[in-house]
């Protein structure tokens, strides 16, 4: 399961919406010994493309060094799909190089509903995981078919069947 | 000549879990040959069958991407190294909705099988 603060999810969605129809990408860093995403780092999509993303190599070096210096790791690596569902493409799977990261996908294909799903991608194998959004207000738009439970402190999104 | 090489998580299976190893060489290409002798298989994750640096691997010498360091007319593997340099290897973070078949063939983490010669039926 990915547990992530609502404020970070909102910032990621805002980034994805802002760059639409190009794909947006970024990282959420967190302490190296935990699994909590804390520090949102929107990254430049060096490809500036609606169908492809790539971190700028020099920005990546700077951010990865900064994480090292702060005893952080990339807990979440996110990008948006702007015309398709939030599920890893063949390209995403082949190029996934951080086996310990949660790969968060955001689909902005619908203008008024944003799909968010999280995956582990290890050696070509994709495993979807639930997303637990902490400190969520109960947003009626969040109550979709894949919502299985909610509490005053969080909203859980169940995995959707693989397509 | 000692060069510190920083190894990303995904390749630490080749270095016994070590985050950094020492290597030697006057160019990046030489360094990778030296590393492969100590950590067999590592070079194959970085170099294509044609002998170039994988498109989706970033290699830096100190603060520079080797793709911008190579002498003109030469490749990234010709980038010069000096004693005390630090080489950092990072998997490119890339992907996208469009499933390019060409990307699959170029990938770092899940290499495609080498092309096989089609077998013709006996005459």
The alpha carbon torsion through B39, B90, A7, A140 (nearest 10 deg) reads -80
Instruction: Note the pTM of the prediction, 2 decimals.
Output: 0.80
Q: Please state, in angstroms and rounded to a whole number, the distance separating the CA atoms of residues B35 and B87.
A: 12
CA distances from residue B23 to B35, B88, B100, B108 in whole angstroms, order as listed: 6, 12, 35, 22
- What's the gap in Å between the CA of A8 and the closest CA on chain B? 20
What is the per-residue pLDDT across A83-119, written as a single tens digit (0 to 9) for each?
999 999 998 999 999 999 999 999 999 999 999 999 9
Q: Please state, in angstroms and rounded to a whole number, the distance separating the CA atoms of residues A108 and A85.
A: 8
- What's the gap in Å between the CA of B82 and the closest CA on chain A? 20
Q: Please state, in angstroms and rounded to a whole number, the distance separating the CA atoms of residues A23 and A91.
A: 14
Kindly tell me if the per-residue pLDDT of B43 is higher than 80: yes
Subunit contact B90:A61, Cβ cutoff 8 A: yes
| Between B1 and A59, residue with greater pLDDT | A59
Out of A51, A60, A88, name the one closest to residue B58 (CB): A60
Interface check B12 vs A, CB under 8 A? no
**pLDDT in the model for residue A47:** 92
**pLDDT in the model for residue B106:** 47
Average pLDDT over residues B101-114: 45
Subunit contact A61:B88, Cβ cutoff 8 A: yes
Task: Show residues of chain B in contact with A94, CB under 8 Å.
Answer: 103-104, 107, 109-110
Residue of A nearest to B55 (CA): A95
Size of interface A-B (CB pairs under 8 A): 111
What stretches of B1-123 show up as alpha helix (H) in DSSP? 28-38, 101-106
Q: How confident is the model at residue A151 (pLDDT cuts 50, 70, 90)?
A: low
Average pLDDT over residues B30-57: 94
**pLDDT in the model for residue B73:** 76
Q: How large is the ipTM?
A: 0.82
Q: How confident is the model at residue B62 (pLDDT cuts 50, 70, 90)?
A: very high
Subunit contact A94:B10, Cβ cutoff 8 A: no
Interface check A120 vs B, CB under 8 A? no
What is the per-residue pLDDT across A2-55, written as a single tens digit (0 to 9) for each?
999 999 999 999 999 999 999 999 999 999 999 999 999 999 999 999 999 999
């Amino acid at each position: 399961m990915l547990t992530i603060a609502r404020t970070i999810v909102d910032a990621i969605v805002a980034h994805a919406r802002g760059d639409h129809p190009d794909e947006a990408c970024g990282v959420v860093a967190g302490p190296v010994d935990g699994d909590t995403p804390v520090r949102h780092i929107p990254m430049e999509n060096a490809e500036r493309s609606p169908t492809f993303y790539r971190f700028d190599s020099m920005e990546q070096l700077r951010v990865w060094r900064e994480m090292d210096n702060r005893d952080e790791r990339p807990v979440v690596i996110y990008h948006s799909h702007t015309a398709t569902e939030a599920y890893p493409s063949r390209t995403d799977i082949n190029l996934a190089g951080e086996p310990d990261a949660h790969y968060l996908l955001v689909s902005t294909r619908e203008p008024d509903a944003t799909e968010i799903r999280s995956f582990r991608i290890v050696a070509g194998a994709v495993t979807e995981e639930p997303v637990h959004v902490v400190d969520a207000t109960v947003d009626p738009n969040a109550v979709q078919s894949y919502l299985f439970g909610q509490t005053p402190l969080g909203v859980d999104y169940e995995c959707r069947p693989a397509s | 000549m000692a060069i510190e090489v920083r190894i990303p998580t995904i390749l630490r299976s080749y270095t016994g879990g070590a985050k950094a190893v020492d290597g030697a060489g006057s160019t990046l290409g030489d360094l990778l040959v030296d590393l492969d002798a100590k950590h067999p298989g590592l070079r194959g994750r970085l170099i294509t069958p044609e002998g170039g640096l994988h498109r989706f691997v970033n290699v830096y010498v100190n603060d520079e991407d080797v793709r911008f360091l190579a002498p003109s007319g030469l490749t990234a593997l010709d980038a010069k190294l000096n004693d005390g340099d630090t080489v950092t290897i990072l998997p490119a973070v890339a992907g996208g909705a469009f499933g390019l078949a060409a990307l699959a063939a170029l990938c770092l983490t899940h290499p495609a099988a080498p092309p096989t010669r089609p077998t013709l039926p006996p005459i």
